């Protein structure tokens, strides 16, 4: 079973990983976006880690709802409301249980990913974070490691795609050949989940 501590580890592992990879995320965002994805997420997840340190919510849902709220208010770019909605909706789906199973987490994450698709209007194949998250949620039933691999493969698979949402869609066919920064950061989030699970 996964408790609030597990979810705190997930968020702090994500913050550390975004910190390490910020320059790479921003570099991916330079040719097709506005070169702020790494620094935006770094600011957001630093705020998440600080807020969790200060408030220490006692339930898995509480951790994710607080984290999502921090992202919406601190990121400053589209990834804020998108990741914020992902975590908040996942947190709300977990309710106020003190511990949840991996199956419940997979189900809640699916609700979170659905909410992101509704908010941003993106579908699989549009070269967005959805292309990493949907396969990850599908694989989560097997293991956290399988989800991490699926997310990383999903992110790499955005390279030949033409971006159809957000700033990258304005550059049209020139977005082809670039791995999507949002799918890349989504893979970091899922990798941190596997890390929190000790896998």
Partner 1 sequence: MSDEQLVGIVLVSHSAEVAASVAELAKGLAGGGPAVPVAPAGGTEGGGLGTSAELIAAAAASVDRGAGVAVLTDLGSAVLTVKALLAEGDELPERTRLVDAPFVEGAVAAVVTASTGADLAAVEAAATEAYSYRKV
The residue range among 3-11, 54-62, 65-73, 106-114 that interacts with partner 1, by the rule CB under 8 A, is: 65-73
- 122 binding partner 1? (CB under 8 A): no
Nearer to partner 1 by Cβ, of 57 and 81: the residue is 81
- For position 172 contacting partner 1 by CB under 8 A, the verdict is no
**What are the structure tokens assigned to 19, written together?**
């910190």
The H-assigned helical ranges of the chain are 4-29, 37-55, 60-74, 79-94, 102-120, 130-139, 144-156, 181-196
| Contact code string over 72-101 relative to partner 1, x by CB under 8 A | xx--xxxxxxx-xx--x-------------
CA distance 169 to 180: 11
- In sequence order, what are the residues at sequence separation of 6 or more whose Cβ sits closer than 8 angstroms to the Cβ of residue 124? 130, 131, 134
Report the residue number, 37 or 148, with the smaller CB distance to partner 1. 37
Q: How many residues bind partner 1 (CB under 8 A)?
A: 21
Residue 66 sits in the site that holds partner 1 (CB under 8 A): no
Decide whether 164 or 167 has the Cβ nearer to partner 1. 167
∠ Cα 61 65 71 (to 5°): 145
- Minimum distance from residue 60 beta carbon to partner 1 (Å): 19
146 interacts with partner 1 by CB under 8 A: no
Concatenated DSSP letters for 82-122?
Answer: HHHHHHHHHHHHHTT-SEE-HHHHHHHHHHHHHHHHHHH--
Contact residues: partner 1, CB under 8 A: 34, 36, 40, 69, 72-73, 76-82, 84-85, 88, 115, 119-120, 166-167
């Amino acid at each position: 079973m996964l408790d609030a501590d597990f979810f705190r580890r997930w968020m702090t592992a994500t913050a550390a990983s975004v910190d390490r990879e910020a320059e790479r995320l921003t570099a991916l965002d330079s040719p097709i976006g506005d070169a702020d994805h790494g620094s935006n997420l770094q600011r957001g997840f630093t705020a998440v880690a600080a807020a969790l340190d200060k408030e220490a919510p006692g339930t898995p849902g509480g951790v994710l709802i607080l984290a999502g709220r921090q992202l919406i208010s601190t990121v400053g770019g589209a990834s804020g409301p998108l990741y914020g909605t992902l975590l908040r909706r996942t947190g709300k789906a977990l309710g106020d249980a003190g511990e949840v199973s991996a199956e419940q987490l997979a189900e809640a994450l699916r609700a979170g990913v659905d909410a992101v698709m509704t908010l941003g209007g993106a579908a699989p194949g549009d070269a967005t974070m959805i292309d990493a998250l949907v396969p990850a949620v599908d694989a989560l039933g097997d293991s956290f490691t399988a989800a991490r691999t699926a997310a990383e493969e999903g992110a790499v698979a955005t390279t030949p795609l033409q971006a159809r949402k957000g700033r990258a869609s304005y550059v049209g066919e020139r977005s082809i050949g670039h791995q999507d920064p949002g799918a890349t950061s989504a893979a970091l989030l899922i990798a941190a989940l596997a890390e929190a699970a000790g896998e």
